[in-house]
Chains A and B, each alone.
Chain A
Amino acid sequence: GAVVSQHPSRVICKSGTSVKIECRSLDFQATTMFWYRQFPKQSLMLMATSNEGSKATYEQGVEKDKFLINHASLTLSTLTVTSAHPEDSSFYICSARVRTLSDTQYFGPGTRLTVL
């Protein structure tokens, strides 16, 4: 149980375009989802916390107008990278927590974004 999927797994886009990444919890309802970014050989950096039905909470330094997060249902959260630039190229990973006050986060397989 506790499977999280992400789509797409890999995307290449031109500079200036927008890219949407989907994160789904397949066999459970996720009240909270998290979005991380990971550059090569670096740690996972939390970008934002997404609660179903409410606005996402962004970490300091993360532009909320550039990284749009929507958590429309208990099984789906989306991250849209708007007007992507080469420096946005990274590995984006989501995670989902099973329920409120539960600690364990289950991670999606990640999406590798390359902006040309």
Chain B
Amino acid sequence: GENVEQHPSTLSVQEGDSAVIKCTYSDSASNYFPWYKQELGKRPQLIIDIRSNVGEKKDQRIAVTLNKTAKHFSLHITETQPEDSAVYFCAAGSSASKIIFGSGTRLSIRP
């Protein structure tokens, strides 16, 4: 089955700097890669997703890249703000099937 690894587990960046979180997956059949943001005690919120037919997607300060050959995908947050502090999860899966989550990255933005 699918296995998703996520790094780093914690990340602290200065406000205004960029943050990068990386994930790898094992199942070459996976074609859907969402990223979720979860604040303490709340539900995961989808912030961006990418499908295997594209290599990069951007939405304002957030971008995701996908390297299918290497089975890597990454989340990039630019111009970080205090409200970006949360736990971020990557996930991998396929249409009409389940997604498997990475272990999470706790992002802290230093003022």
Contacts and interface: CB of A to CB of B under 8 A. Distances in A.
B96 interface: yes
Contact of B103 (A43, A108, A112): A43
Contacts of A109: 42-43
A104 interface: yes
Contacts of B46: 104-106
Given A93-B44, A103-B49, A109-B43, A44 B101 contact: yes
Contacts of B93: 103
Interface residues of A, number: 22
Given A43-B89, A43-B104, A104 B43 contact: no
Majority secondary structure of chain B interface residues (helix, strand, loop or mixed)? strand
B102 A43 contact: yes
A105 B99 contact: yes
B52 to A, nearest CB: 11
A93 B45 CA distance: 12
Given A44-B89, A93-B44, A109-B42, A101 B96 contact: yes
B98 A110 contact: no
Interface in B75-111: 89, 93, 95-96, 98-104
B44 A44 contact: yes
14 contacts: A43-B102, A45-B101, A46-B99, A46-B100, A46-B101, A100-B96, A103-B34, A103-B49, A103-B51, A104-B34, A107-B36, A109-B43, A110-B41, A110-B42
Given A105-B46, A107-B45, 9 more contacts: A34-B98, A42-B103, A43-B104, A46-B100, A46-B101, A101-B96, A104-B46, A105-B99, A110-B43
